[in-house]
Chain A
């Protein structure tokens, strides 16, 4: 940076900090009552439990979405046209309708009548399980498209070369196509996983007691405001930032490699 740019940078930084401070002061003054963190402290156990449930749902749905994503990828590359069309139709449907609708419709109309009793019979929480499946399917549909784009972007010559050295179809994917395709689609996958963590908050509509649901309860019972929303935001950031950082790090590593 030149000297002028350094000075301009410093000036803009001061202006931005000042503007943010003014904004925060205005907001806090308009609250009309003091911020009382003891309310949040009183609900700490419920909030902590909700956060761990969100963490668990996110991890499970992440793994589930990989399974669904791979299935959708392979389905779209099937040699049987009917499998390809079914996959495409299903993907199009899932991607073009809101997740909220999947959750409400999928839980209350389809899965709950079928599965609630048997699942409760073996002592499982049907809401969590069905929520994870629906979330996995939604993210899996996007992942399937991302992976298909990545695999399609690998030139035909690489398939030739991989077959020429004698790899089996599975080995062609495992050693040649996937390693190259994943490097190309990694940023998109990271974005998808961040969305998935955030979207897990929608599971509150079917009554899963995750972080958002428990925070909402806490807020409505104790008339809290900032004391509820601030930890809520931070709780999700703790989950999403590592994913974003990991993706940036991997992306840089792969870029240096090629």
Chain B
């Protein structure tokens, strides 16, 4: 995928969540956003995912230039998948229905075709036995895997994941990270934010360090983790790598 952000600004009240952020990535398959909490990672992902409209600046992902009108934003969201930190499954629908409902109502699949697609991804993620359970009956890791299954069931152009393992214990974190790595190896374009530095290094082919609403540094993982250039990134990495 190709990404081009220019002077993107997003203000919430008096907070400049994104402050004239610019980032050009000519080619990457997995882009990982790292950085301190409150630095703007989530806002940036939400802008990229079409859930938030920036106040200023331009965002171009592949050939699509994002604009603010609701219809084209909706069309944009239909092409891409989004996975949330808190899973955000629909609590009144069972695991399979969480996947088939958008397939039927958004992508126009017949109920049979939607079910086949859903069962295919549930099987792939080892969740078929849980297909008829409600989200509240699933563990956090299982819920997040259903969330990912829902987001990739219609083969999205780009898959966005906003701190997908921050609400999980270490064991569940591992099961979800393995799944994401598998998707990346299968060729899925991914943009994700995470606090798992080891995972970022292993899976990314481009890492961007986001702090104070700006990109402090953007490099391939080897360069960024071994020889960070910017002082904020150096400080952040030396602190998080200490333990």
- Asked if A164 CB lies within 8 Å of chain B CBs, one says yes
- Asked if A163 CB lies within 8 Å of chain B CBs, one says yes
Cβ B74 vs Cβ A166 within 8 A = yes
B68 to A: closest C-beta gap in Å:
14
Cβ B92 vs Cβ A257 within 8 A = yes
Cβ A179 vs Cβ B84 within 8 A = no
Q: Which residue of A lies closest to B82 (CB)?
A: A164
Contact A257 B134, CB 8 Å, known A161-B84, A163-B51, A176-B90: yes
Residues in A with CB closer than 8 Å to B102 are 165-167
Of A164, A168, A179, the most chain B CB neighbours within 10 A belong to A164
A157 to B: closest C-beta gap in Å:
5
- Asked if A78 CB lies within 8 Å of chain B CBs, one says no
- Asked if A84 CB lies within 8 Å of chain B CBs, one says no
B53 to A: closest C-beta gap in Å:
12
Q: Which positions 89-115 of chain B face chain A at CB distance < 8 Å? A: 89-92, 101-102, 105-107
Cβ B105 vs Cβ A158 within 8 A = no
Residues in B with CB closer than 8 Å to A168 are 74
Cβ A161 vs Cβ B90 within 8 A = yes
Per the CB 8 Å criterion, the residue count for chain A at the interface is 20
Bound-complex Cα distance A53 to B201 (A) = 74
Cβ B90 vs Cβ A157 within 8 A = no
Residues in A with CB closer than 8 Å to B92 are 179-180, 183, 257-258
- Asked if A199 CB lies within 8 Å of chain B CBs, one says no
Bound-complex Cα distance A183 to B91 (A) = 12
Cβ A166 vs Cβ B136 within 8 A = no
Bound-complex Cα distance A167 to B198 (A) = 35
Cβ A165 vs Cβ B150 within 8 A = yes
Cβ A157 vs Cβ B88 within 8 A = yes
Interface of A is mostly: helix
- Asked if B29 CB lies within 8 Å of chain A CBs, one says no
Residues in A with CB closer than 8 Å to B81 are 164
- Asked if A175 CB lies within 8 Å of chain B CBs, one says yes
Cβ B51 vs Cβ A164 within 8 A = yes
- Asked if A153 CB lies within 8 Å of chain B CBs, one says no
Mark A147-188 against chain B: 1 for CB-CB distance below 8 A, else 0.
Answer: 000000000011011111111110100011001100100000
Q: Which residue of B lies closest to A156 (CB)?
A: B88
A250 to B: closest C-beta gap in Å:
13
A153 to B: closest C-beta gap in Å:
13
Cβ B105 vs Cβ A171 within 8 A = yes
A-B contact pairs, 7 of them (CB 8 A): A161-B88, A165-B101, A165-B102, A165-B106, A166-B77, A171-B106, A258-B134
B binding-site residues for A, Cβ under 8 Å:
49, 51, 70, 74, 77-78, 81-82, 84, 86, 88-92, 101-102, 105-107, 134, 136, 150-151
A binding-site residues for B, Cβ under 8 Å:
157-158, 160-169, 171, 175-176, 179-180, 183, 257-258
> Which 5 pairs show the lowest CB-CB distances between chains A and B?
A166-B78, A161-B88, A164-B82, A165-B102, A166-B106
